[in-house]
Structure 1
Amino acid sequence: MTALLELDQLQLAYDTATGPRVVVDALSLTLERGHLGSLLGPSGCGKTSVLRAIAGFEPVRRGHIRLDGTLLSSADSSVAPQSRRVGMMFQDYALFPHLDVAGNVAFGLRRQSKPQQRERVREMLALVGLEALAGSYPHELSGGQQQRVALARALAPAPELLLLDEPFSNLDADSRERLAFELRDLLKETGLTALLVTHDQAEAFAIADRIGIMRDGRLAQWDTPYNLHEHPADAGVADFIRREALAERRAAAHARGRQSAA
């Protein structure tokens, strides 16, 4: 396989009164075409900033971002977000409340003819299993259904790369686990390349072919789920994997206890 996404020595920083504050530094990774990647780490480690830089919403101080060999961002140049062939699914889904499901999915297809838009919307709603809800409005949908609409809208323009920012954070634990596996199956079915940002280890390991452990703005390890468990790059990665797994087991046991009590 060939690399679709390449990040090379990426540095991101914000200007403050006392000078630039570096939030991501010396980050390099490649994501192969058709693979699903995930950036995993605690809040504030810089993972969402990386996603926003790939989408074109954050400037690059150093290094570069390439998609299929085309330079998207560097310190000296930047391709406009709408010209990057990158789709993004936001954490809060960002659905338009005044548009029905079909209208939301069609939003990024305005350059196509009306018949082309209708056919693409039909294809996308069939893909996510929401054909029967084309005329419904966002407030009439469950959280999982809203997520599917947001995904269909992100996929409709046929991006080469899909970015997902904490796509399950608004859902309950049971829905998150179920939809994580469904999302992986759907993305693999389409052959799309995607990069997911999450702080939830279970989500990352359920979805991704490659996972990046981020720590204080740096990439501690970019590897397969198996290698992260069996061959952590350092004690910090090993400790993070163990702590997160223990927390997840405790949360699952707590949930089972509540269900038994009920």
Structure 2
Amino acid sequence: MTGPTLKGKTAVLTGAARGIGKAVADALIEKGANVVIGDLLDSQGEALVASYNTDGKRAAYIHADVTKYKEIVALFQLAEKEFGGVDIAILNAGIASNSNNLFTDLNDLQDERMIDVNVTSVIKCTKVATLHLARRGGGVIVSTASVAGFHSGGISLAPYTASKHAVVGYTRAFDILPSICNVRVNAVCPYWVETDLITSLHPDDDSTTATPFEKLVINSARTKIETVVEAFMTLIEDESRIGKLILDYYEKKKREFRKVDLYFV
């Protein structure tokens, strides 16, 4: 990525203290944007923002539980206060824990958590983000979905797969929104990316005690984080991208995609 193309723009990111969200925040900073990060990982989020602000105010951090409207509103209001408005919203917060839960205890809170974080938070954040972006004159929302939003991940990923199908369907519903308030809504759907989200699904090493699903995760190909970031930046910067998903993006990147991912598509 050469030269800033988003200078003066402000992006709000959820779940960006580490992993994919952090990588996208890094790219936005490199391209000249300001970033405001909401996360539950306060020490990591604050340290990241401090690293962005070494040469002047470029970023801000706030503790934010994205399942709660009060904290989502506070996140976007912080962006307004610090940088005057919001142009980009990256809805990246998500979990994969407790995916293999068909035969676990009947626990309301545990089984509702996946949908609350992966789906309900996207709906709530989109509503709040749209108000801020429209006030700014328009902008773009990009959510982190998954290839599991197109395909079954099997019984071990059933709730996660359901949540990502929901995000894909939700994204596709907004193709008319630009004509209403000049806000585009898109999603990126990566395959396995080596982040904390998937390392929680398998042991640190390929032990003989790993379950078949854990062995599948351990031995699956990985999407490069750089490829995922490129997808995000394309959906942010290319204004023709409306209601688009990574499947469309990678149809124009087939050679690279087929090496790593497209066999799953």
TM-score (norm: length of structure 1)? 0.31
Question: Normalized per residue, which structure has more strand?
Answer: 1
Higher-Rg structure is: 1
TM-score (norm: length of structure 2)? 0.31
Question: Normalized per residue, which structure has more helix?
Answer: 2
